[in-house]
Structure 1
Amino acid sequence: MLRLAGRWVLTAVALVVSVSFLTFVLVDLVPGDAARSVVGLNSTEEQYLQMREAMGLDRPLLERYGDWAWAALHGDFGNSLTNGAAVASQLTTRLSVTVTLVVASLLVATVVGVSLGVAAALQHGFLGRLVDGLALLGLAVPSFWFAYVLVFLFAIETSFFPATGYVTFGSDPAGWARSLVLPVLTLGLTSSAPIAKQTRDGIRSELDKDYVYALRVRGIGERSVIGRHVLRNAAAPVITIMGLVFVGLLSGTVLVETVFVLPGLGSQAVQATMSSDLPLIQAIAVTFTVMVVVVNLLVEFVYVLLNPRVRAG
């Protein structure tokens, strides 16, 4: 187990370093010049060259990446090119919004998906076809389109929830919850389909195995067979799908936060890209990567707990 955990950590570190370096290179290759964006188009050539030197853009790429990585390890991601504020402080204020949105959406997707999957597995016929249809629909329907549908139904037509905006929890807990309902439903419902399909397929596969027949022959109740044995054995693949859904939710925040005007990392990434704020883009990319790595580590850990054969190997 310790050897397995060590391999996970080494893989995670290598992934973070690789993604951060690749992002650094790609950002450097983006058309445009960060120094020119700062000094403006009407600046002199001397002012432009001085700004390039001040920003370190005249130095080799590997040297600049090394300095950035060393500073990032100490929590210093530099300053924003648009407002001069520390990037780390901007990430801190927006990270909680994105984390709340993603975790709540994953919870909704899991509850809805597992419930539909269990029902479809135990009741053949219409529900099984319904889950297949929802899976295809969830993959085909863009999240931003579904967001506009929810806004039309529950914000414009009925005024149940606000269409845009965000309220902090400290200022108004009820308003905070209401401001997150539509974004969470947008991401959660569209992400529940693959969880439902995997749950249904996993349970059906387990129900066909010999141990289920043996438990029933011994007189064990159907609820105990399903709840204590079948669901536990079918849970491992579902956990893996949940990890993939989490990654999809992170990418979905970019559009959903923009549509609902939420002050999270997703909308900040859009703003940073439009303004060519390279330090901010780099920091957001690394933050998303770290979140994905941490969740994947948790998924691997839970998978090992649910599957003793992996732990023994």
Structure 2
Amino acid sequence: MLTFLMKRLVAGVVVLFAIACLTYALLYFSSANIARNILGEYATQEQLDAKSAELGLDQPLIVRFLGWLGQALTGDLGSSWFTGQSVAGALVTRLPVTLALIVTAIIVIAIVATLLGMAAAVKRGWIDRVVQTAAVVGDAIPGFVLAIVLVTFLAIQLRLFPATSSISPDSPSSAWTASLTLPVIALVINGVTGAAQQVRSAVIKQLEKDYVRTLRSRGISERVILFKHVLRSAAPAGLTVLSLQFIGMLGGVVIIEQIFALPGMGALAVSSTTLGDIPLVMGVVLYTVVIVIIVNLLVDLANGWLNPKVRVS
């Protein structure tokens, strides 16, 4: 298990470094007007040159990257070129909102998709047809469309929830619940049927195997067979789908956060990229990649625990 874990960690570090290099290079070639964006359209050429020299924009790519990398390795991601706020401080205030939204949605999706998928696999009939049809419809409807519909009916017309969010890290739990309910519902509706379809297929595959017939011949109850044996064997497929949905939500949640005015990573990523705030963009990218690496590592460990063959693959 230790070797398995070390391989995953080394692979994650390599991926993190490669993405950091590629992102910084892309930002370098699009940083021509940053000084103008900071100082405004009436700044003189002398002022622009001075600001570029202050920010190191006049230095070669490799020099700028190595300077940033040296600071990042010490935990210092710098400060925003536009607001002066530390990158770490900006991310710490916004990351909890995004993570709370995505983690809550993934937990709800996992529970509902497991129950629906198992019911469709075991009962078949109309439940199976509903799950398969809903999977196609759910994949076809974008999450932001569902979000707009929920805001229109439940927030604006019925006024059951706030249309926009005003939460902060120190807001009470009631405010968090009210602000995150509609975004979570939008994400869950968009993702639960696809996950249920994968669980259904994995459970059906397990039910057709010889060990299930053997367990039944021994008089073991169907409930024990399903939840202790079949579900454990089918879980890796479900975990893989959930990890992919989690990673997809990190990017797709940008629009959801904009619709509900959530002060999360999405809005920060959009604004910093638009302005060309390189330290902030790099911070968002690094935090996002680290989260993805951690999620993939946890899924690999869970799959390795559920199926020892994974650890030697």
When normalised by structure 2's length, the TM-score is 0.96
Match of 1:257 in 2: 257
Is residue 70 from structure 1 mapped to residue 61 from structure 2 by the alignment? no
- 1:15 deviates by 0.5
Letter in 1 for 2:254: V
Is residue 148 from structure 1 mapped to residue 143 from structure 2 by the alignment? no
Match of 2:210 in 1: 210
Is residue 101 from structure 1 mapped to residue 101 from structure 2 by the alignment? yes
> 1:34, 1:278 within 8 Å by CA — same for their partners in 2?
no
Match of 1:113 in 2: 113
Cα deviation per residue 1:16-37 (whole Å; 9 max; x = unaligned)?
0111111111112226421221
Cα deviation per residue 1:214-270 (whole Å; 9 max; x = unaligned)?
111111111111111111111111111111011011112211111100111111111
Which whole-Å CA distance do the structure 1 matches of 2:76 and 2:98 have between them?
21
Which whole-Å CA distance do the structure 2 matches of 1:107 and 1:189 have between them?
13
Which 10-residue stretch deviates more, 77-86 or 301-310?
77-86
Cα deviation per residue 1:281-302 (whole Å; 9 max; x = unaligned)?
1211111111001100101111
Which whole-Å CA distance do the structure 1 matches of 2:248 and 2:174 have between them?
28
- 1:171 deviates by 3.6
Cα deviation per residue 1:74-107 (whole Å; 9 max; x = unaligned)?
2222221221211111111111111111111111
Could you say what the CA RMSD is over the residues aligned between the two structures, in angstroms?
1.5
User: SS at 1:163's partner residue?
Assistant: coil
User: SS at 1:79's partner residue?
Assistant: coil
Is residue 162 from structure 1 mapped to residue 162 from structure 2 by the alignment? yes
User: SS at 2:165's partner residue?
Assistant: coil
- Please list, as runs of the form range in 1=range in 2, the aligned pairs for 1:71-86 lying within 5 A after superposition: 71-86=71-86
- Please list, as runs of the form range in 1=range in 2, the aligned pairs for 1:34-53 lying within 5 A after superposition: 34-53=34-53
> 2:96, 2:169 within 8 Å by CA — same for their partners in 1?
no
- 1:193 deviates by 2.1
Which whole-Å CA distance do the structure 1 matches of 2:42 and 2:98 have between them?
38
Which whole-Å CA distance do the structure 2 matches of 1:254 and 1:310 have between them?
34
- Please list, as runs of the form range in 1=range in 2, the aligned pairs for 1:237-248 lying within 5 A after superposition: 237-248=237-248
> 1:187, 1:252 within 8 Å by CA — same for their partners in 2?
no
- Please list, as runs of the form range in 1=range in 2, the aligned pairs for 1:261-276 lying within 5 A after superposition: 261-276=261-276
Letter in 2 for 1:71: Q
Is residue 185 from structure 1 mapped to residue 175 from structure 2 by the alignment? no
Identity %: 39
Match of 1:294 in 2: 294
Which 10-residue stretch deviates more, 238-247 or 32-41?
32-41
Which whole-Å CA distance do the structure 2 matches of 1:169 and 1:133 have between them?
40
Which blocks of at least 5 consecutive residues in structure 2 are unaligned? none
Which 10-residue stretch deviates more, 286-295 or 168-177?
168-177
Match of 1:58 in 2: 58
Match of 2:310 in 1: 310
When normalised by structure 1's length, the TM-score is 0.96
User: SS at 2:71's partner residue?
Assistant: helix
Is residue 11 from structure 1 mapped to residue 11 from structure 2 by the alignment? yes
- 1:55 deviates by 0.6
Letter in 1 for 2:218: R
> 2:4, 2:312 within 8 Å by CA — same for their partners in 1?
no
Letter in 1 for 2:100: T
Letter in 1 for 2:129: R
Match of 2:229 in 1: 229
Cα deviation per residue 1:105-135 (whole Å; 9 max; x = unaligned)?
1111112211211111111122212112222
Which whole-Å CA distance do the structure 2 matches of 1:212 and 1:116 have between them?
20
Letter in 2 for 1:87: V
Letter in 2 for 1:73: L
- 1:311 deviates by 2.9
Which whole-Å CA distance do the structure 2 matches of 1:31 and 1:77 have between them?
18
Which 10-residue stretch deviates more, 273-282 or 204-213?
273-282
> 1:167, 1:175 within 8 Å by CA — same for their partners in 2?
yes
Q: How many residues align?
A: 313
